[in-house]
Structure 1
Amino acid sequence: MALTATGIGSGLDINTIVGVLVDAEKVPKEAIFDKTEETIDAKVSAIGTLKSALSNFQDALEKLKDGESLNQRSVSTGESTYLTATADKTSQSGSYNIQVEQLALAHKVAGTNVTDPTAAVGEGSLDLTVNGNSFSVNVGAADSLEDIAANINSAEDNVGVTATIITSDAGSRLVLSSDTEGTDSQISVVANDTTGSALNDMFGVGNLEELQGAQDSIVHVDGQKITSQTNEVTGAITGVTLNLTDADLSKTSTLKIELDTEAVKTNVQGFVDSYNSLINSIDKLTKYDSDKDEAAALQGDSMVRSIESQLRNMISDRVTVGSESVALYDIGIEADRYGKLSVNSSKLDSAIETNMAGIEGLFSTESTGLAVRLDDLVEGYVKTGGLIDSRNNAYTSDKQRLDSQREAFSLKMELLEARLFKQFNAMDLVVGKLNQQSSGIVNGLNSLPGVIKNSG
């Protein structure tokens, strides 16, 4: 008799037996897979945290690399309405009396008025010149003032002229304004008619009206007269830019320039805080918790150890600034035995007062400045295709390899299960047949003459 269900012949629970045997091999291996995947995921997360910490540190370094943030100037003009000012690190502390005699003005000229700005004007071209530079605009037979203005403003070789249309009680006219103030930037127009004289009648000699004469600015600094083409005056005071806003020779504004010591302190403290934050992140990613007997994801990682080692070496280096050698300790930045930095305020104050050039040079000297070198170090790790990207690529490969191993192992377990079922089902058939044969023999013996059956 053929068996129709697993285990009927032998009476064994073959499904359970096979399940237990397969699990005995599968469960430990899957636990290893899970643990490996968990470790890879933890490392991917940790390396992302490290990259973020390095990038944040790099942001702080950017403020120090060029020295501007460390050598800032505070500028005051009181309540003056006549000028504002900015100063770079080359400016010297001081106070200046300033009178603005006149503002620079841009040249403005206008053609004759017409009744309808949308009507055709004439045919030919206009040659416009500003400060010796020229460009030409063609005027079509159907072109209106609006078309001419649009063509002037959109001309690729426009040398600094803006065209607008002003409509008044007298009609509409094309106004040409120089984009730059000063007498060097006066506008001249030559009208070239190909048909009739309409363009000359509007823009030619005697017809082009000057609405605003070009004018240079005049400012007096401590009684010394300075003339400038624009209202942005540079060079009058070293490192200072004056932006003139109004003029009255009888009014004096006081300009004060000082080293912005608070900005220096803020940026130095910002460097210290960002460095310590980076070290804290590294410590968390590499620590070993002896109480829990648990290691952080990057504990013992060679790349992280290398980063930390290079950072510690760099912050202890001295930088040659001019004829002297300067280190962080000299400006009041000290390191403890755990590698964390702190600021000695009184020592920093003294360095700011006596050696501002040394502070700036320590961080921003080209190639050797501390901020420059630290930025180069960090960039090698965080840039696209850098060392951290390479490490992430390695983790991705590990994950793909693990997925392949899982898939292969899963197939192996399916084959094992199929083989065990085949073997146990074969045994079940044999046992079933043996049981049938045994039953037949017993029945045959019982039916023999003279056999006394035990009634029982």
Structure 2
Amino acid sequence: MAEIRSLGAGSGLDLDGLVQRLVAAERQPVETRLARNEARFQAELSALGSIKGALSALRDASQGLAGDAGLGVRTATSSNPERFTASAAAGVAPGSYSVEVVSLATANKVATDPFAAAGSQVGTGTLTLGVGGDSFSVTLADGAGSLADIRDAINRSPDNTGVSATILNEDAGSRLVLTARDTGAANTVSVAAAGGDGGLAALTTLTELTAAADAVVKVDSFSFSSASNRVDGVIEGLTLDLVEADPGNVETVTIAEDRSAMIDKVSGLVDRLNGFTSATNRVASYNADTGEAGVLLGDATLRGIEDRIRQITGSQVGAAADPFGNLPGLGITTNEAGLLELDEAQLSRALDERPEVLDTVLAGEDGIATALGAYLGDVLASNSLVANREEGLRSRLDGIGEQREALDRRIERVEARFVSQFAALDGLVAQLSQTGDFLQQQLSNLPGPAGGNN
């Protein structure tokens, strides 16, 4: 902005203030329009963000229910948790099975012959340790070949494929104990020595303390072996965690639907649908009492999303006459406020009559949750209408910043023009004033009544 210091000094008029008022009058309409547009775009962007958040939550809830892992929640109960515990993936068929824990999986543990002490020098060279089908090597140099050095070299090796080394001190001396980190018959420990002074060869003579063994479990009298005590695959989707072997004694695992968890999942979907409805009501409704309208009232993008969600949630899955093929059949209805309500008793009755109803109506290939998840995934994609709308609003906000910069430049030119014009006026008025003073002085010097002298 031009700096005004002495404008009006010649004329005695407040030309400085007049210029400032004229400049402000020139700026105000444009500034008011830009501020109004900026507030509107910011409000629309904020409202769109709240809608996007509600849609994201609904998408996640819908996609979390879709497919086999969604609503078929199962519990797996062991008749004797001191022998084994169990868990079941969603969708596993309910049923009971006999379980006999014949033996547990164990890790191979071996020990070397005794040495005088942990600090006793063993030797130098390369020690190669194997476990299962993998191996790694450590090198012991002069002055670093004690039993303790060897233990530390094994444990610290970045190539260690699964062997833990400790020192066992007993009456006969100190032994290096090697233990496979993984259980299973295939994970046996081996040691080989090469090079150096030959002293490491003493570590290749090993005494087995614990044999490597697989776990053996019988389910409905059929044997199943596992390298670990977490047994997967004997029944697809069922996991048994073996705690203690008890050969000859049979326990039971029971797989059942988790009704409470299933209802909670459906309730969560209802909550997310209501969350979207509430968000829409806040930003796209009209209050007849106050005359206030939401910033997205009549927005075509939002209206299209609302219509499609209503279409999906109001659809019939399967046969038209199926009483359980829609949301009301599952106990989900709309109240007077326009929000959904879940009747848990009705949902339980539907599950009692048709246990797989949620897998079909909500989570199936043509299910409501499946369709919602797919649609909302597209709506919230990076190149979607919502994303493009957000980008458009941000671009408009950036444009307002550029328009303000252009306004500042134009106002500077306007102010400079006013200053120039009023400076000329100031000079003219000053000149006229001087001329008037001169004439007044001359008239006052004239003789007679017109002058000041008699």
- State the TM bucket, normalised to the shorter chain: 0.7 to 0.9
Q: Does 1:173 align with 2:175?
A: yes
Structure 2 SS opposite 1:76: strand
Percent identical pairs in the alignment equals: 33
CA distance 1:31–1:251, shift in 2 (3 Å)? same
CA distance in 2, matches of 1:196, 1:119: 15
Superposition map of 1:145-294 within 5 A: 145-149=147-151, 152=154, 160-187=162-189, 189=190, 191-194=192-195, 197-203=198-204, 207-221=205-219, 226-249=224-247, 253-294=251-292
CA distance in 1, matches of 2:448, 2:211: 149
Q: Does 1:342 align with 2:371?
A: no
CA distance in 2, matches of 1:60, 1:137: 51
Offset at 1:151?
5.2
Offset at 1:15?
2.8
Q: Does 1:109 align with 2:107?
A: no
Offset at 1:327?
3.7
CA distance in 2, matches of 1:229, 1:427: 102
CA distance 1:441–1:235, shift in 2 (3 Å)? closer
Counterpart in the other structure of 1:19: 20
CA distance in 2, matches of 1:401, 1:234: 60
Partner of residue 414 from structure 1, selected from 412, 415, 426: 412
Counterpart in the other structure of 1:61: 62
Offset at 1:452?
5.4
Superposition map of 1:289-300 within 5 A: 289-300=287-298
CA distance in 2, matches of 1:352, 1:184: 46
Deviations 1:83-136 (A, max 9, x none): 1111123533334454434322222111112234455533555555545x2425
CA distance in 2, matches of 1:10, 1:195: 108
Offset at 1:259?
0.8
CA distance 1:391–1:168, shift in 2 (3 Å)? farther
CA distance in 1, matches of 2:38, 2:452: 67
Letter in 2 for 1:64: L
CA distance in 1, matches of 2:447, 2:225: 146
Offset at 1:210?
0.7
Counterpart in the other structure of 1:36: 37
Whether the 8 Å contact between 1:9 and 1:432 is mirrored in structure 2 is yes
Whether the 8 Å contact between 1:80 and 1:253 is mirrored in structure 2 is no
Whether the 8 Å contact between 1:90 and 1:238 is mirrored in structure 2 is no
Offset at 1:358?
3.6
Tell me whether 191-200 or 257-266 shows the greater mean CA deviation. 191-200
Partner of residue 429 from structure 2, selected from 428, 431, 435: 431
Offset at 1:336?
6.1
CA distance in 2, matches of 1:62, 1:116: 62
Whether the 8 Å contact between 2:138 and 2:154 is mirrored in structure 1 is no
Offset at 1:261?
0.7
Which consecutive unaligned segments of at least 5 residues does structure 2 have?
none
Offset at 1:71?
0.8
CA distance in 2, matches of 1:378, 1:200: 67
Which consecutive unaligned segments of at least 5 residues does structure 1 have?
none
Deviations 1:294-334 (A, max 9, x none): 3323223332223222222222344569xx99443443333
Tell me whether 269-278 or 254-263 shows the greater mean CA deviation. 254-263
Offset at 1:247?
2.8
Offset at 1:56?
2.2
Whether the 8 Å contact between 1:137 and 1:151 is mirrored in structure 2 is no
Cα RMSD over matched residues? 3.5
Letter in 1 for 2:115: V
Letter in 1 for 2:135: F
Q: Does 1:137 align with 2:151?
A: no
Structure 2 SS opposite 1:89: coil
Offset at 1:31?
1.7
What's the TM-score, normalizing by structure 2?
0.83
Offset at 1:222?
5.4
CA distance 1:61–1:171, shift in 2 (3 Å)? farther
CA distance in 1, matches of 2:6, 2:239: 97
Deviations 1:406-440 (A, max 9, x none): 22222322332332233233223323333333343
Letter in 1 for 2:108: H
Aligned pair count reads 444
Counterpart in the other structure of 2:309: 311
Structure 1 SS opposite 2:179: strand
Whether the 8 Å contact between 2:74 and 2:91 is mirrored in structure 1 is no
Counterpart in the other structure of 2:327: 328
Letter in 1 for 2:418: L
Structure 2 SS opposite 1:183: coil
Structure 2 SS opposite 1:115: coil
Whether the 8 Å contact between 2:112 and 2:207 is mirrored in structure 1 is yes
Counterpart in the other structure of 1:94: 95
CA distance 1:304–1:168, shift in 2 (3 Å)? farther
CA distance in 1, matches of 2:450, 2:326: 114
Q: Does 1:360 align with 2:359?
A: yes
Tell me whether 79-88 or 161-170 shows the greater mean CA deviation. 161-170
What's the TM-score, normalizing by structure 1?
0.83
Offset at 1:387?
4.6
Offset at 1:196?
6.0
Offset at 1:8?
5.5
Offset at 1:281?
0.6
Structure 1 SS opposite 2:307: helix
Counterpart in the other structure of 1:52: 53
Deviations 1:367-387 (A, max 9, x none): x54434433333344455655
CA distance in 1, matches of 2:409, 2:312: 53
Deviations 1:11-60 (A, max 9, x none): 53323333332332222322222212211222232222222222222332
Counterpart in the other structure of 2:123: 122
CA distance 1:127–1:363, shift in 2 (3 Å)? farther
Letter in 1 for 2:349: S
Whether the 8 Å contact between 2:138 and 2:157 is mirrored in structure 1 is no
